[in-house]
Amino acid sequence: MKKLLCIVFLFCSVGSFAQKSDIDCRITESFINQNMKDWNKFVDELSAEITKTGSEDLQFKRMIVRHLYLAYLLFNNPESKQIDMQLEGLNKDIEELEKSKKYGKQSLAFKSPYLAYAALNNPVTAVYRLPMSFSAAKTAISESENSPYSWAEYGNLQYCYALFIGGSFDDAVKSFQKAITLIEQKGEGTKCNWYYINTLLFLAKSYEDGKQFDKANEVYDKILRIRPDYEAIHRWKH
């Protein structure tokens, strides 16, 4: 599970944290039940609505759904034909949203995971794509410092670096805390905001892997107050 969590963000709401819709609640339900194998259906559902409405809000949402779906596929089903399709779609969403007045700067945060996913899917490219992934994360912070996405995605890189290369998890903790604060300041720390819940989960894992188990449990308890039906949390608590 720890490795899966890392891949979700390294190589893990939606819209501009507007009021959550039915699809947000269904995505969250699927997420907390660890049932992501059919997330292509969410992508297809959003795509159909985007075709009808041309909504940038929905395109931004689809981009993040693709982000987590790719993480699931690369870890659980690396031979899936969906990977190339979703990678291409993710890159296209990012490129189109970069031109958006509303989402241009926020979309920069997702260049980092796209580059890392592409490296995982084609390891011979890792030597240049992974450094580009770190650079993209830092650019997102500098261009959109008040975006929770920038801080959450940067925190994921810091977490995975500490986990696999070694070092302190303190930098990851600070980035996740910043992202969470920004989300909560907007009043969007809700039970149907799966990006928020996932960011809380990574904060807990950062504390846990840094051997700060009491603080990890405090965050786990916070998640359970938001989603008491998140059964897996009971297994992860210390």
**pLDDT tens per residue across span 27-37:** 999 999 999 99
pLDDT at 229 over 70: yes
Lowest mean pLDDT, pick from 54-58, 134-138, 158-162: 158-162
Encoded tokens for 115: 């580059």
Encoded tokens for 189: 């720390």
pLDDT digits (tens, 9 = 90+) for 87-102: 999 999 999 999 999 9
- The residue type of 41 is K
Residue given tokens 């929770």 in the structure block? 148
Lowest mean pLDDT, pick from 8-12, 164-168, 190-194: 8-12
pLDDT at 11 over 50: no
User: What is the model's pLDDT at position 5?
Assistant: 46
Q: Find all residues with CB under 8 Å of 194, minimum gap 6, and list them.
A: 13, 24, 27, 28, 31, 32
User: How is the chain split into domains, by residue range?
Assistant: 2-236
Q: How many CB atoms lie within 10 A of CB 220?
A: 23
User: What is the model's pLDDT at position 4?
Assistant: 45
- The residue type of 37 is K
Q: What is the largest CA-CA distance in the chain?
A: 49
pLDDT at 10 over 90: no
Task: Tell me the CA distances in angstroms from 4 to 57, 139, 202, one per residue in order.
Answer: 28, 25, 11
User: What is the model's pLDDT at position 23?
Assistant: 94
Give the model's confidence band at 17: pLDDT under 50 very low, under 70 low, under 90 confident, else very high. very low
Q: What is the CA radius of gyration of the chain?
A: 16
Residue 149 host element (H or E): helix 148-164
Which one, of 69, 61, 104, 105, lies nearest residue 87 by Cα? 69
Give the model's confidence band at 13: pLDDT under 50 very low, under 70 low, under 90 confident, else very high. very low
Encoded tokens for 93: 């969403």
Encoded tokens for 17: 């944290």
Three-state DSSP at 101 gives: coil
User: What is the model's pLDDT at position 123?
Assistant: 93
Say how far apart CA 153 and CA 179 lie, in whole Å: 9
Q: Which 8-state DSSP code applies to residue 211?
A: T
197 phi and psi angles, rounded to 5 deg = -65, -40
What is the average per-residue pLDDT within 105-127?
Answer: 94
pLDDT digits (tens, 9 = 90+) for 61-72: 999 999 999 989
pLDDT at 115 over 60: yes
The model's pTM: 0.87
Give the model's confidence band at 9: pLDDT under 50 very low, under 70 low, under 90 confident, else very high. very low
Say how far apart CA 234 and CA 46 lie, in whole Å: 32
Concatenating the DSSP letter of every residue in 161-195 gives HHHHT-S-SHHHHHHHHHHHHHHHHTT---TT-HH
User: What is the model's pLDDT at position 166?
Assistant: 85
CATH of domain 2-236: 1.25.40.10
